[in-house]
Amino acid sequence: MAFSTGKLLWDRNTGHASDSRRRKLPMRNARILSIGLVTAVAFAWSAAAVEHAHELAGYCQSLERGAKGAGRHIYIPRTREALTCWGYMRAMQDLPVLADENGHRIMGACPPEQTTTLQLIRSFVRYARAHPSELLGNAVVAVFRALGEAYPCPH
């Protein structure tokens, strides 16, 4: 899965490439995409909003206990908790590919392209069990940390 933002932005006034704005474009697009993805998850799951990381961890533990199958053919329980975890982590699965203009991953995680949503969920659940004090805050921050620990980027 590769994500690329264009490196060239045309200046509408001159019809030439804009050099000053081109450096800011990838970061701006990454922020817009990140905000869009998080907003989409928030609206899609508004009835089951996740307020804290410990709440998401509980939902994901529930999903993990009830998941059946292997690889890309997974059955997950049809519960609000399991669906909330799946949707949240599915959205997070798209974020690690975002990079700044220097190629550094914004999320700080580099999972292999073939990593499944269930593998990300298991990584988060392992992190949650190992770092219970980290679950008092924001769920996004905890997921970023969990994935960064599970899938560190090469330096």
For the chain, first and last CA: distance in Å? 20
Report d(CA 65, CA 68) in Å as an integer.
9
- Cβ neighbourhood burial of 153 (10 Å; 0-12, 13-18, 19+): middle
Contact 35, 29 (CB under 8 A): no
The pLDDT of residue 25 is above 50: yes
What is the percent of the chain where pLDDT is above 90? 39
Number of domains in the chain: 1
Report d(CA 95, CA 98) in Å as an integer.
6
Q: Is residue 55 part of a domain?
A: yes
The pLDDT of residue 10 is above 50: no
Q: Is residue 14 part of a domain?
A: no
Q: Is residue 2 part of a domain?
A: no
The pLDDT of residue 85 is above 80: yes
Q: Is residue 12 part of a domain?
A: no
Domain hosting 79: range is: 19-150
Total residues belonging to the chain: 155
pLDDT score of 3: 37
User: pLDDT band for position 43 (50/70/90)?
Assistant: very low
pLDDT score of 20: 47
User: Rounded mean pLDDT of the chain?
Assistant: 77
User: pLDDT band for position 6 (50/70/90)?
Assistant: very low
What is the percent of the chain where pLDDT is above 70? 67
Q: Is residue 13 part of a domain?
A: no
pLDDT score of 5: 37
User: pLDDT band for position 45 (50/70/90)?
Assistant: very low
Report d(CA 148, CA 127) in Å as an integer.
10
Q: Is residue 1 part of a domain?
A: no
Q: Is residue 124 part of a domain?
A: yes
Q: Is residue 81 part of a domain?
A: yes
